[in-house]
C-alpha cells in the first residue's frame, strides 16, 4: 500500500503521545529559552544607546543594571535549554525503543512467504531506520523548527514595535524564504526516497553475499559478486550525488535572499538614523535580530530536508507496519485442542503463482498416532504439504483438519504449539546450546533439556565442549556441523513434546553411525504421536505405518514399504535407484 508522510507522522505521533507530559515540558522549555533570547536584543539596544549617549542614564538605567538584566535573561534561557535537554535525553530513547519494539514485534508475525521474499539484512536496516528517523525528525522539529518559529515571532513583534513597515517587509521575506525551502525540500525528497530504496538494496546485497561467503569461495564467484555490489553501489552513489547537488542549489538561493534582506533593512535603517529617527541602539537591535535569525534560518532548509529524509527512511518500515498480515488469526479463532492427533487434507488446492499449481483437489487422511512417510521426486510438493499444515501458507481451496478442527479457524499460536518440526536444515540462534534446545519449551528445566539431549545423542559432543551447554553456536549455528545442528533440532523437538511431529529430512545431515543412534531417538520421540516424515533416503522410512507417494502434487500410491515394492510404480523406481547405488558401492 502507498505510504505518505502523513502515515509516518501518525506512527510517530502515536508513540510520542505515550509520554505527553515529557513532550509538554520539552516544548515549554524550548519556548521559554527562545522567548528569552528574543527579548535580549532590546536590552542590548538600551545598553548601546546609553554608551553612545543617545539616551540618558536616567531613561534607560545604568549600564551595569542593563548588563545584570541581560545576565538574568541569559540564565533563564540557559536553565530552560538545559531542562529541555535533560528531559529529551530521557524521552527520545524511550520512544526510539518503543518504535524498534513495535517494528520488531509486527515484523515477526509476518508470514513465511514474506520472509522468503525479503532480505533479512534489509529488514534489520528498516527496523533501525524507523527509530533513527524519529530521532532525526524530533531533533529537527524541537531544536530547529520550533526554535525558529518562536524566535521569528519574537523578532516580528520587536520590529513591529520599532517600525511596523520593517516588520511587514521582514514577514514577507520570511514567508518567501520558508516557502522556497519547503518546496525545495519536496523537490529533493523525490531523490531521497529513491536513495533510501537504493540503500536498502545495497544492504540486502551485502547481507546476501556475506551470508553466502562460503559459496562465493567454493564457486570462485568473487569477481561476479564484486561486480554485482559495484553495480548497486554505483546506483546509490549517483542518487546521493544528485540529492546533495539539489541541496547545494537550495543553499545558494537562500544565501542570496539573506544578503538581500540584510542589505535592504540596514540601508533603510541607515536612512532613518540620518533623519534622527533611529539611534545607534536601534541599528544594533536590527542587526542583532538579523544575525540571530540568519543563524537559525540558515539551516532551516537542511531541517526541512532532514525531516523529509527521515520520513523517506521511515517509509519502508511504516509500509511494513501498514501491510496487513497475509496469514493471521481469523475473527473468532479458537484454541486448537488435540486429543487424538488425526489429520485430514480434504480436497486441498494450493499454488504459489497462478501459473504454478502445487496441489489440486488433494486429499489425505492420517489416523491418530499413525506414522506416515511422504516420498516422491523433488518438486512434488512434499515439504509444501507440511508448510500448509503449519499454516505458513493458506490453502486456495479445501480444508486441513486436526481432530475435526480446521487449522484456518484456530489460533496460529495454538496450532504451532501442537506441531513440532525437525527441518532438513536446522537454523539455530546465536545463543547457548541450552537456550537453543530449551526454545522448544521455554519453561523446561535444565534436567529436561539434558535428558532430551541424551535421547537425541547430542549430549556426547556438547559435554566435550569447553563451556558445555553454555557454548554459543554462532550465527545460524555455523559453529556446529550439519549433523550436530540436526541433533540439537531433534533435542528441541523432544523438549517440545507436541502431539504431532513433522520430520523434514530429519536425518539427511547425519552419517550412518549417527543415523542409527538417532533412529532409536526418533522412534521414542514418535511414540504415541502422529508423525509425518518427509524423506529422500528411503532406508530411513521403511518401518513407517504407511508410505505416501506424491508426484506432481498428487498422491499416486499408498501402502507399506513391502506393499509398494510389489507394484511397478514411482516408489519401486526410487528404491531401485537407491538400492542400486548402495550395491554399486
3-state secondary structure of 541: coil
For 330, which DSSP code?
Answer: P
Q: Are 418 and 338 in contact (CB under 8 A)?
A: yes
Q: What are phi and psi of 545, to 5 degrees?
A: -60, -40
Domains in the chain: boundaries: 5-321, 333-418+536-585
User: How much is the pLDDT for 301?
Assistant: 67
User: How much is the pLDDT for 515?
Assistant: 66
Q: Are 178 and 201 in contact (CB under 8 A)?
A: no
Q: Which has the closest alpha carbon to 553: 403, 405, 396? A: 396
Q: Are 431 and 449 in contact (CB under 8 A)?
A: no
Rounded distance between C-alpha atoms, residue 72 and residue 68, angstroms: 6
User: pTM for the full model?
Assistant: 0.67
Q: Which has the closest alpha carbon to 288: 45, 529, 478, 90? A: 45
Q: Which has the closest alpha carbon to 360: 374, 375, 345? A: 345
Q: What are phi and psi of 555, to 5 degrees?
A: -85, 115
Rounded distance between C-alpha atoms, residue 129 and residue 312, angstroms: 10
Rounded distance between C-alpha atoms, residue 490 and residue 474, angstroms: 19
Integer angstrom CA distances of residue 412 from 407, 416, 419, 437, 584: 8, 6, 11, 22, 47
Angular region, 361: left φ>0, alpha ψ -120 to 50, beta rest: left
User: What class, spelled out in words, does domain 5-321 have in CATH?
Assistant: mainly alpha
Rounded distance between C-alpha atoms, residue 41 and residue 34, angstroms: 12
Burial class (CB in 10 A: 0-12, 13-18, 19+), 568: exposed
Q: Which residue has the cell 509516518?
A: 8
Rounded distance between C-alpha atoms, residue 561 and residue 398, angstroms: 29
Integer angstrom CA distances of residue 341 from 181, 365, 368, 403, 404: 66, 11, 5, 6, 10
Look at the domain 333-418+536-585 and name its fold: Rossmann fold (3.40.50)
User: How much is the pLDDT for 400?
Assistant: 92
For 585, which DSSP code?
Answer: -
Q: Are 574 and 585 in contact (CB under 8 A)?
A: no
**H/E element holding 286?**
helix 280-297
3-state secondary structure of 471: coil
Rounded distance between C-alpha atoms, residue 328 and residue 79, angstroms: 51
Supply 131's cell numbers: 527509530
Which residues does 205 contact at the CB level (< 8 Å), separation at least 6?
Answer: 119, 228, 229, 232
Burial class (CB in 10 A: 0-12, 13-18, 19+), 238: middle
- Over its length of 585 residues, how does the chain's per-residue pLDDT go in tens digits? 567 778 888 888 988 999 989 989 998 988 888 788 777 777 777 677 676 665 544 445 577 777 788 788 888 888 988 888 899 888 989 998 988 888 888 877 776 666 666 666 667 777 888 888 888 888 888 888 888 888 788 778 877 877 788 778 888 888 888 888 778 777 877 787 788 778 878 887 887 788 777 777 766 778 888 888 888 888 888 888 888 888 788 778 877 887 887 788 778 777 777 777 677 777 777 777 777 777 777 777 677 778 877 887 888 788 787 777 777 888 888 898 888 889 999 998 888 766 667 888 888 899 999 989 888 777 777 888 888 888 888 888 889 999 989 988 999 889 988 988 888 777 788 888 898 898 888 888 989 989 888 888 888 888 888 888 888 887 777 778 777 888 888 888 888 888 998 888 766 656 666 666 677 777 777 878 898 888 766 666 777 889 888 888 788 888 888 888 877 777 777 777 666 544 333
User: How much is the pLDDT for 582?
Assistant: 40
Amino acid at each position: 500500500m502507498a505510504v505518505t508522510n502523513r502515515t509516518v507522522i501518525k506512527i510517530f505521533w502515536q508513540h510520542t503521545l505515550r509520554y505527553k507530559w515529557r513532550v509538554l515540558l520539552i516544548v515549554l522549555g524550548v519556548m521559554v529559552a527562545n522567548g528569552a533570547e528574543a527579548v535580549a536584543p532590546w536590552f542590548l539596544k538600551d545598553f548601546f544607546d546609553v554608551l553612545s549617549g543617545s539616551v540618558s542614564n536616567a531613561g534607560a538605567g545604568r549600564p551595569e543594571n542593563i548588563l545584570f538584566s541581560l545576565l538574568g535573561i541569559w540564565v533563564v534561557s540557559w536553565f530552560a535549554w538545559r531542562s529541555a535537554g535533560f528531559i529529551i535525553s530521557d524521552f527520545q530513547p524511550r520512544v526510539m525503543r518503543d518504535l524498534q519494539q513495535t517494528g520488531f514485534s509486527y515484523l515477526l508475525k509476518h508470514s513465511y512467504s514474506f520472509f522468503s521474499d525479503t532480505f533479512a539484512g534489509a529488514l534489520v536496516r528498516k527496523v533501525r531506520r524507523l527509530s533513527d528517523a524519529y530521532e532525526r525528525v524530533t531533533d529537527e522539529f524541537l531544536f530547529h523548527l520550533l526554535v525558529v518559529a518562536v524566535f521569528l515571532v519574537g523578532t516580528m513583534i520587536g520590529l513591529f514595535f520599532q517600525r511596523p513597515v520593517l516588520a511587514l517587509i521582514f514577514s514577507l521575506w520570511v514567508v518567501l524564504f520558508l516557502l522556497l525551502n519547503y518546496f525545495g525540500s519536496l523537490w529533493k525528497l523525490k531523490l531521497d526516497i529513491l536513495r533510501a530504496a537504493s540503500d536498502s538494496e545495497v544492504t540486502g546485497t551485502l547481507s546476501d553475499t556475506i551470508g553466502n561467503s562460503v559459496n562465493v569461495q567454493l564457486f570462485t564467484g568473487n569477481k561476479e559478486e564484486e561486480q554485482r555490489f559495484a553495480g548497486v553501489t554505483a546506483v546509490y552513489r549517483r542518487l546521493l550525488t544528485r540529492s546533495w547537488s539539489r541541496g547545494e542549489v537550495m543553499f545558494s538561493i537562500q544565501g542570496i535572499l539573506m544578503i538581500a534582506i540584510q542589505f535592504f533593512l540596514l540601508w533603510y535603517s541607515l536612512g532613518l538614523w540620518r533623519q534622527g529617527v533611529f539611534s545607534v541602539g536601534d541599528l544594533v537591535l536590527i542587526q542583532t535580530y538579523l544575525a540571530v535569525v540568519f543563524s537559525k534560518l540558515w539551516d532551516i532548509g537542511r531541517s526541512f530536508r532532514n525531516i523529509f529524509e527521515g520520513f523517506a527512511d521511515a517509509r519502508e518500515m511504516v509500509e511494513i507496519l501498514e501491510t496487513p498480515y497475509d496469514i493471521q488469526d481469523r475473527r473468532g479463532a479458537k484454541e486448537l485442542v488435540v486429543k487424538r492427533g488425526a489429520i485430514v487434507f480434504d480436497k486441498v488446492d494450493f499454488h504459489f503463482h497462478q501459473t504454478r499449481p502445487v496441489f489440486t483437489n488433494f486429499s489425505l487422511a492420517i489416523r491418530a498416532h499413525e506414522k506416515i512417510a511422504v516420498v516422491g521426486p523433488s518438486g512434488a510438493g512434499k515439504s509444501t504439504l507440511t508448510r500448509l499444515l503449519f499454516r505458513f501458507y493458506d490453502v486456495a481451496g479445501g480444508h486441513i483438519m486436526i481432530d475435526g478442527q480446521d487449522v484456518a479457524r484456530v489460533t496460529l499460536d495454538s496450532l504451532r504449539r501442537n506441531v513440532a518440526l525437525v527441518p532438513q536444515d536446522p537454523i539455530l540462534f546465536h545463543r547457548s546450546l541450552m537456550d537453543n534446545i530449551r526454545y522448544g519449551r521455554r519453561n523446561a528445566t535444565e534436567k529436561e533439556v539434558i535428558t532430551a539431549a541424551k535421547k537425541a545423542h547430542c549430549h556426547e559432543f556438547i559435554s566435550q565442549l569447553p563451556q558445555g551447554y553454555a557454548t554459543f553456536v554462532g550465527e545460524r549455528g555455523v559453529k556446529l556441523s550439519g549433523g550436530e545442528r540436526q541433533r540439537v533440532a531433534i533435542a528441541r523437538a523432544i523438549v517440545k513434546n507436541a502431539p504431532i511431529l513433522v520430520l523434514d529430512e530429519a536425518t539427511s545431515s547425519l552419517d550412518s553411525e549417527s543415523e542409527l543412534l538417532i533412529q532409536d531417538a526418533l522412534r521414542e520421540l514418535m511414540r504415541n504421536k502422529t508423525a509425518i516424515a518427509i524423506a529422500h533416503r528411503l532406508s530411513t522410512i521403511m518401518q513407517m505405518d504407511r508410505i505416501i507417494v506424491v508426484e506432481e502434487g498428487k498422491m499416486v500410491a499408498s501402502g507399506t514399504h513391502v506393499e509398494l515394492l510389489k507394484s511397478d510404480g514411482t516408489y519401486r523406481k526410487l528404491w531401485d535407484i537407491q538400492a542400486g547405488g548402495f550395491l554399486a558401492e
